[in-house]
A and B are shown apart, each in its own frame.
Chain A
Amino acid sequence: MPELVPNRRTLPASAWIGQLLLYALFALVIGVFSRWPVYQHLASDQALIKISFTHTGKPAGDCRAQSAAELAKLPPNMRAPTKCPRERSPVSIEVDVDGVAAVRRTAPPSGLSRDGASAVYQRLVVAAGEQRIAVRLNDDARRPGPTYQREAIVKLAPAQVLVIDFDAEKGGITLQ
């Protein structure tokens, strides 16, 4: 009657060679595919522009004075003379590279009441070298046209990352 776990010494030499080959194949698969083929994430003559900001737009509408009747309906501690809308403007951004429109994005305000910040993150692969970058941003729905804009000539080295961000404290659009 055969044993459930036979003595391994009963295996013929060819079986041991087979085992070695199979272990070697397993190692080969791991050894090779853990590093090969080399992945070219970005071509050697390219650079990357990241357009990213998180910015709270201006209120979506104008504040208005409340009438005496409206104020009378409110509790005494809430009788503010003017009422401003809670909702914020969407923030739109336009980026041109060498005069060509590269990015057109409008980010809605976050939050259930649409009173949060608008956020954008977008990658833009460009050729390395000198580029004329034009950025226009509008964060006020009541005003047509850009509320901020910036133009610059940048020289991008291969693989360099240029971040286009927005920081009101630093004057608006930043290139870093």
Chain B
Amino acid sequence: MSPTADAQSLAQRWWRRVEHGFDAAFGAPLNPLRQLGTLGFLSFWLLGVSGIYLYAVLDTSASGAYRSIVDMSQSQPWLGGLLRSLHRYAADAFVILMALHLLREWLHGHYRGVRRYSWLTGVPPVVLVFASAIGGFWLHWDQLGQYSAIATAEWLDALPLLATPLARNFLSVDAVSDRLFSLFVFMHLGVPLLLLFALWFHIQRLTRAAVWPPQPLSAGLLGTLLLLAIVAPVTSHAPADLATVPQALRLDWLLLFIHPLTEAVSPAAAWALVGGGLLSLFALPFLPQPTRVPVAVVDPANCNGCRRCFADCPFAAITMVPHPNQKVGKQMAQVDTDLCAACGICVGACPSSTPFRTTAELVTGIDLPSSPVSALRQQMQRGLSALPAAKPIIVFGCDHGAAVAPLAGPDVAALSLVCTGQLPPSFVEYALRDGAAGVLVSGCKAGGCEFRLGARWTEERLLGLREPHLRAQVPRERLEVAWADAGEEASLHRALERLRERVRGLQATTDPEPKVSHA
């Protein structure tokens, strides 16, 4: 392993620890560290809503802007003043959430394979976020705005783009005209609109992309920012005065750190740092990557065009096309190899994946060549028949969640899938009919599924809320579900113990008789 990969792996372990700490406080489904993208979107919506009001109140002239903002804060502290502070703090929150989101996705290796598109389209928004945030300070036209506008102009002048330095626009009071100020306003409206467009691109290749966090988290973030706005309202510096240099500034380091950085190094070095950082982000997906697993393959003879795989694919890799059997209106799934993550969630969704089928060879409508559903049935059968215990248990887990292999023992056969979503629910019933006393299904925690929706679909299928569902007649007391991330194997052990305890107490007469035959 390379030193970079080592560092990434170490950092990932640390991140998981922190994430598990947050689980204890919020509960896994509402863990904000697994909702960073949606929380970022919420910050953006807050910026939009508060910004619309502020724009309505703002005097968009160079001479009137400062007065209009100060007046608003003083005359309507519980509306304009509060929204002004909320606007600033939402921007700060946005930057923090964006940085954490980027860090988490990098640590999880979500920049390669099918996620390359989302990664690459996620880089320009970073620039746009800072561009719109920095431009927002200029509209105050106080000393901080003056400092930021001049520092930005001087930094841009380091690029050999313009014949006349931009900084000359701020040489004297007369230089800052209403026309220039209109440009500031236009930028602060236009860049966020561009950002909205860029974010739309960013989530294009995700099915059911969430742009709203769960309600309790939305309330938590909004409440925190509002409380902060009340406790520490944002105030203006003294009005801008181009005849003097602002000396001591209450700088927003989260949004304006680039200015002191530029002064500390040099404009050219700051460009090198920023450009190098952005280039590195763009280059990550193109570095040597692990070999791609073969993607899902559709078998037209077994695909009945039910669209379940189409509905369940987390990466919009499946489209429905006319079936080659040429029957009118009949459709068939088609896999876009560039978009397919080979997670197998489509296999779990396919009604033809049921292990009860009596065909000589179990072939399903859509399958993973690297771990076909027939091999899964075979492994399960072999595992069960090899267990000497009177009440054997089958464990289905996933490669990205808590490791299930250590659970294997005299009464346990453990099978690890690419994603738990690959498991057709009928496998649970099949295992019980084939002699298993209980079945434990495990996968990544809610919101933390490596393939986004695998755990969610699995649970909905097992609860009978989603097709294909686990039949109602399957005794639920023989089923245990445990959502546990890598590193949380102890909780998996506890779930297994619970299941053991339950099936131990079940009467022999309630045990299902083996009703399946092995080929």
**Partner-B contacts on A (CB < 8 A):** 1-6, 8, 11, 15, 18-19, 21-24, 26-27, 29-31, 33-44, 47-48, 50, 52, 54, 110-111, 116-117, 119-121, 123, 158-161, 163, 165, 176
Contacts and interface: CB of A to CB of B under 8 A. Distances in A.
Q: Bin chain B's interface residue count.
A: 35 or more
Given A2-B482, A29-B96, A31-B228, A15 B456 contact: no
A31 to B, nearest CB: 5
Nearest to B22: A22
A161 B26 CA distance: 53
A39 B228 contact: no
Contact of A119 (B26, B164, B251, B460): B164
Interface string B225-257: 101100110100000001111111111111100
Nearest to A34: B252
B452 to A, nearest CB: 14
B24 A15 contact: yes
B36 interface: no
Ranked 9 nearest A-B pairs via Cβ: A18-B25, A121-B165, A110-B163, A39-B251, A35-B250, A30-B92, A159-B244, A34-B252, A27-B228
A1 B481 contact: yes
B27 A15 contact: yes
Contacts of B29: 4-6
Interface of B: 22, 24-27, 29-30, 32, 88-89, 92-93, 96, 147, 154, 157, 163-165, 167-168, 171-172, 214, 216, 220, 223-225, 227-228, 231-232, 234, 242-255, 260, 263, 446, 455-456, 459-460, 462-463, 476, 479-483
A119 B92 CA distance: 37
B248 A161 contact: no
A5 B247 contact: no
B143 to A, nearest CB: 9
A111 B32 CA distance: 53
B247 A44 contact: yes
Interface of A: prevailing SS = mixed
B244 A27 contact: no
A42 B89 contact: no
B25 A34 contact: no
B168 A52 contact: yes
A38 B480 contact: no
Given A22-B25, A54-B168, 6 more contacts: A4-B29, A8-B216, A48-B245, A54-B165, A121-B165, A121-B167
15 contacts: A5-B29, A5-B30, A6-B29, A8-B30, A30-B228, A33-B252, A33-B253, A38-B250, A41-B249, A54-B164, A117-B164, A119-B165, A119-B168, A121-B167, A161-B242
A137 B152 CA distance: 28
Contact of B245 (A23, A117, A159): A159
A33 B91 CA distance: 13
B96 A30 contact: yes
Given A5-B446, A18-B24, A41 B462 contact: no
A92 B30 CA distance: 64
Contacts of B248: 38-41
A39 B481 CA distance: 54
B165 A52 contact: yes
Interface centre among B220, B224, B227, B260 (most CB of A within 10 A): B224
Given A8-B30, A19-B220, A163 B250 contact: no
B156 to A, nearest CB: 11
A44 B30 CA distance: 49
Contacts of B249: 38-41
Given A34-B88, A34-B92, A159-B244, A165 B171 contact: yes
A161 to B, nearest CB: 6
Contacts of B27: 6, 8, 11, 15
Contacts of B250: 35-36, 38-39
Contacts of B252: 33-35
Contact of B243 (A15, A38, A39, A160): A160
